[in-house]
Amino acid sequence: MKLFDVYPLFDINIVKGKGCHVWDEHGTEYLDLYGGHAVISIGHAHPHYVEMISRQVGTLGFYSNSVINRLQQQLAERLGKVCGYDDYALFLINSGAEANENALKLASFYNGRTRVVSFNKAFHGRTSLAVEVTNNPKIIAPINDNGHVTYLPLNDIEAMRTELAKGDVCAVIIEGIQGVGGIQLPTDEFMQALRESCTAHGTVLILDEIQSGYGRSGRFFAHQYNGVKPDIITVAKGIGNGFPMGAVLISPLFTPVYGQLGTTFGGNHLACTAALAVLDVMEQEQLVDNAARVGDFLLTELKKLPQIKEVRGRGLMIGLEFEQPIKELRLRLLKEQHVFTGVSGTNVIRLLPPLSFSMEEASEFLRRFQKVLG
C-alpha cells in the first residue's frame, strides 16, 4: 500500500527532537521555529513529559468514557485555574477540528439556529462543519457546502452588526489571532462590539484558540488582550505537546445533557497525562511569560529589517509579510541555515516556535535569517 499523497513534503526525515531543535536521519540539527505547526508548546522530548507519559502507559493507557477518569477531573481543575475560566466546563476530544465541530453543535443545540458567521481567511479545520466555516473553497467538498455560513471581513464592525441584527445567527466563530490566514489580529474595538452584538441577539460567541491559545500569544488566550469573554473556547495543538488532543471550554450558560456529545478516545488517560505534564512545565518554567518576553524581542528586532513589508503578531505567533513570494527564501532558510518555519499563502512566513524558545535561540534565528535575507 502507498500513502495517500496529499502532503507536499520537504525531502527531510526528522527522527529526533530536543527542546527547540530537531535532527534528521543524517544527524543534521535544525532550529525549530515551526513546532510541527504550533503544536510543540513545552519543547520536544521534555524530560518531565517523557517521564509522566512513560509511567502512565505502563499503568493504564486507555479506558472508556463510561467510567470515572480522575485525570480528566484534575485537568479540568488545573486548566480552569491557569487560564482564568474556573467556572467553565471542559469537554475533551482529539483534535482542533473536532473541538470546533462540537462547539458549533453545542451552539446549535442551545439556540436551535443553523446560520454561522465566520471571517475572510478563517481556518477552523477539515471536518464537516469545521471546514464549512473555513474560508477556503478548495477544501470544502460539495457535501460540506450546506449554506450555513456567511463570511465577513475581519474587523468590519458595521458588517458584523448588520448580519447579527437579522436575529437568526446561531454562532460567530473567530480565531484569537488568524493563523493560516497569515497572522491577522482582531482589534479590541471589533471584539468588544462582537461580544455586545452576540449577547444582544442570542448568538453564541466561539473563540477558536487552537493556534493562538495555550500561551502562544504571551497570554493564555489571545482574546484576553481584547477584554472579552467568549461563550465557548476551543483549544488543541499545544495542549498535549504533540499528543493528539483537543478541548472545548464551555461557559455556565450551557447545561450538559447525557449523550448529547461523546467520543471514544477523547480525554483518555494518556492524553490527560500529556496535558497535565504540559501544564506542570508551563507553570514551572513560566512559559507564557517567556512567550511574551521572547516574542516582544523578536517582534522588535524583525521590525527593524527593511526587507520585510510588515511584521504582525503577538508573543511567539509572528507573521512576516514580504512584497514577493517567500518560497525560495524559506527553502534557503531550511536548507542552508537549517531553520524550520511555517508559511501562509505565498508571501507570509509564520514563526511558531515552542513556548520555551530562549533569547539565545531567538538571537541565533535572527543571525541565520539575516544571512538569507542578504
Ligand X SMILES: Cc1ncc(COP(=O)(O)O)c(C=O)c1O
Summarize as ranges the residues that interact with ligand X (CB under 6 A).
Answer: 95-97, 100, 123-125, 175, 179-180, 208, 210-211, 236
Cβ nearer to ligand X, comparing 124 with 338: 124
Cβ nearer to ligand X, comparing 265 with 297: 265
Distance in angstroms (rounded) separating the CA atoms of residues 13 and 295:
29
- CA-based nearest residue to 137, from 156, 118, 110: 118
Residue 19 pairs with which residues in a beta bridge?
Answer: 44
Cβ nearer to ligand X, comparing 316 with 372: 316
- CA-based nearest residue to 281, from 296, 291, 267, 293: 291
Compute the Cα dihedral for 144, 145, 148, 151 and give only its sign: positive
Q: Which strand (E) or helix (H) includes residue 364?
A: helix 359-373
Residue 349 pairs with which residues in a beta bridge?
Answer: 320, 343
Cβ nearer to ligand X, comparing 219 with 338: 219
Cβ nearer to ligand X, comparing 97 with 271: 97
Q: Which three cell numbers stand for residue 250?
A: 464551555
- CA-based nearest residue to 315, from 241, 236, 216: 216
How many of the other CB atoms lie within 10 Å of CB of 200?
A: 12
Q: Which strand (E) or helix (H) includes residue 93?
A: strand 89-93
In this structure, the strands spanning 339-340 and 232-235 are: unpaired
In this structure, the strands spanning 149-152 and 115-119 are: parallel
Helix, strand or coil, per DSSP, at residue 341: coil
Cβ nearer to ligand X, comparing 116 with 236: 236
Cβ nearer to ligand X, comparing 90 with 236: 236
Residue 98 CB, nearest approach to ligand X (Å):
7
